[in-house]
Amino acid sequence: MFGRKKKQEKDGRRSVKNFGRRIKDLLTRSGGTGEDFYESLEDLLVEADFGAAAAVELVDELRENRNSSSGDWTRDDLVAGLKDIIRPSLKTADLTPDPEKLTLYLVLGVNGVGKTTTIAKMAHRFHNESSGDIVLAAGDTFRAAAIAQLEIHGKRVGARVVKQNHGSDPGAVIYDAINSAMSQGDKVVIADTAGRMHNRTNLVRELSKIDRIARDRLGKAGMYRKILVIDATTGQNGMRQAETFHKSIGIDAVVMAKYDSSAKGGLVAAISRELNLPFAYLGRGEGMDDLVPFNPDIYLDELLAGD
């Protein structure tokens, strides 16, 4: 049993399908009828990271939509019913750089979620789409190693890194990076930020300051996108992070990193439903090509697949 779980965790595509398989088992067990069926379905939704409130709402909606003459739930009905309810809240964000304007992507998120890796993957993607030279801003000045890590990634994907010393003002680094891009005619700046501070109030205050500096420097001629990275394996913590960042700084798009190692998947639906935020990409591995544009229909097919 333990061995099997380990294997599922390693194989992202299979483990993401876990929820769909469990639905299938539930239908076999319950015959798709009765109070127990609905309660167990609610439990499965909670286990899949939809969150308790959304799980109750979704099951209530399913029940209401069900015609009394429809009989027991079949797998096809249930999958279609869940898709009908979840699909409308799923939105995509297209982060393709504007060739006419300088675009700044400010990448936010708590420590360890996958920000720096996501930045490298985005730079790699934009570079391949011939968006010109990409500038990376080493805005995580809180840890010395963070600057070095961004430089390694910069070399790997062929992007220029603008940095200052460890401990310097991150707003100043990002200001410099925007100036550098403007003077060289580059169109894309992707800025790293720290995910950790002495405490959360400090982090939010620091990020709000960066936000003001970046907005002022870019002005109307630029495009500004605030990207929140969430770790797919953190469950309802991810939901709370999204709430906090969106409330205090305002988020334009979410990237769900480590989606390959997530045993669940409902977090995407929960964040979409509760916060009405669009998703840009799913991170599906550590490689530079493992950043896949979010596609709601593929997401739902995978989530609900029963094989």
Tell me the window of 108-116, 127-135, 180-188, 219-227 that interacts with Mg ion (CB under 5 A). Answer: 108-116
Provide the mask over 128-167, with x wherever binding to ligand GTP is found by CB under 6 A and - wherever it is not.
------------x-----x---------------------
Residue 258 found at the interface with ligand GTP (CB under 6 A): yes
Q: Which of Mg ion, ligand GTP, none is residue 113 near (CB under 5 to 8 Å by kind)? A: ligand GTP
Name the segment binding ligand GTP (CB under 6 A); options: 20-28, 92-100, 105-113, 239-247.
105-113
User: Is the Cα torsion angle 105, 106, 108, 111 positive or negative in sign?
Assistant: positive
| Alpha carbon distance 138, 194 (integer Å) | 9
Closest listed residue to residue 61, CA positions, set 36, 87, 98: 87
8 A C-beta contact, residue 193 and residue 140: yes
* CB-nearer residue toward ligand GTP: 286 or 301: 286
Q: Report in angstroms the alpha-carbon separations of 104 from 63, 166, 176, 245.
A: 45, 22, 12, 18
Contact region for ligand GTP (CB under 6 A) — 26-34, 65-73, 161-169, 254-262? 254-262
Which parts of 192-221 interact with ligand GTP (CB under 6 A)?
A: 195
If contact means CB under 5 to 8 A according to the sort of partner, which of ligand GTP, Mg ion, none does residue 111 touch?
Answer: ligand GTP
Task: Tell me the C-alpha distance between 140 and 152, whole Å.
Answer: 14
- What is the nearest approach in angstroms of Mg ion to the Cβ of residue 116? 3
> Of 18, 30, 103, 116, which one interacts with Mg ion (CB under 5 A)?
116
262 binds Mg ion (CB under 5 A): no
Of 15-23, 255-263, 270-278, 296-304: span binding ligand GTP (CB under 6 A)? 255-263
Of positions 89, 111, 236, 248, contacts ligand GTP by CB under 6 A: 111
Question: Within 10 A of 14 (CB to CB), how many other CB atoms are there?
Answer: 15
Which range of residues in 51-59, 96-104, 212-220, 258-266 is near ligand GTP by CB under 6 A?
258-266
Please state, in angstroms and rounded to a whole number, the distance separating the CA atoms of residues 178 and 162. 9
Give the C-alpha separation, 2 to 96, whole Å: 42
Cβ contacts of residue 148 below 8 Å, gap of 6+? Answer: none
Asked if 284 contacts 298 with a C-beta cutoff of 8 angstroms, the reply is no
Report if residue 109 touches ligand GTP, rule: CB under 6 A: yes
Tell me how far CA of residue 174 lies from CA of 20, 146, 204, 268, in angstroms. Answer: 43, 15, 17, 29
In the complex, the smallest distance separating the C-beta of residue 70 from ligand GTP, rounded to whole angstroms, is 40
Which CB, 116 or 131, lies closer to ligand GTP? 116
| Residue 222 interacts with ligand GTP (CB under 6 A): yes or no | no
Q: Residue 235, interface with ligand GTP (CB under 6 A)?
A: no
Closer of 222 and 283 to ligand GTP (Cβ): 283
| Closest distance of CB 283 from Mg ion, Å | 13
Contact residues for ligand GTP, defined by CB under 6 A: 109, 111-117, 140, 146, 195, 257-258, 260-261, 283-286, 290
Contact residues for Mg ion, defined by CB under 5 A: 115-116
